[in-house]
Amino acid sequence: MADTEQPQLYLVTPPQIDLEVFPEQLGRALDAVEIACLRLDLASRDEDLIARAADACREVAHGRDVALVIADHVLMVERLGLDGVHFSDGARHVRKARADLGGDAIVGAFCAASRHDGMTAGEHGADYVAFGPVGASQLGVGSVAEHELFDWWSKMIEVPVVAEAGFTEDLVRSLAPVADFLAFGEEVWRSDDPVAQLTRLAAARG
């Protein structure tokens, strides 16, 4: 990615959402800042709850031409009219998901800080590879995806790269030149004013 190109933004839902409140809050966030992709990423394994959340988020996202992917629940993609799947456990399911969902679906893979896993995901047909966390975050197991990884990837690999989790405005400024997408989640939703926080982080891209 050229240094002059501004990375697109990718928004991740909170792990728990209140369906009475969240769709309106999400709509305000999507209206405030241009988002390329939204990921439904709930901690719950209750498929009924996930399906209801997906329906609500799909209505908000698709009404604004924002793609909606779901974390890990690949069997829900076609049933719920979603745009694709994001695997939180690296490359292992990418090849099968690509075969099952076809070429038009979005298939992404979170690969922590593993360059090898990222390359494998790309070879298996991933549309993007995500590395993270880039800062202090509950995501991952202690390892941090450093600037050098994104710098190397953006120079050597054609598959788009997503930097995610633990962003500060300084990290946005640092990683914007070497990432295709910046994914914001907990650093937005934990704020007292998520829309204002999202706007601040987005502006820090330069």
CA R_g for the chain: 16
Low-confidence ranges of the chain (pLDDT < 70): 1-4, 138-142
Q: What is the mean pLDDT of the chain?
A: 95
Q: What was the pLDDT predicted at 146? A: 96
**Total of domains in the chain:** 1
Q: What was the pLDDT predicted at 206? A: 86
Q: Say if 66 falls within a structural domain.
A: yes
Q: Say if 33 falls within a structural domain.
A: yes
Q: Say if 1 falls within a structural domain.
A: no
Q: Say if 78 falls within a structural domain.
A: yes
Q: Say if 3 falls within a structural domain.
A: no
Q: What was the pLDDT predicted at 139? A: 61
Q: What was the pLDDT predicted at 199? A: 98
Q: What was the pLDDT predicted at 3? A: 45
CATH number of the domain where residue 47 is located: 3.20.20.70
Query: What's the domain range around 152?
Result: 8-203
Q: Say if 24 falls within a structural domain.
A: yes
Q: Say if 198 falls within a structural domain.
A: yes
Q: What was the pLDDT predicted at 143? A: 82
Q: What was the pLDDT predicted at 140? A: 55
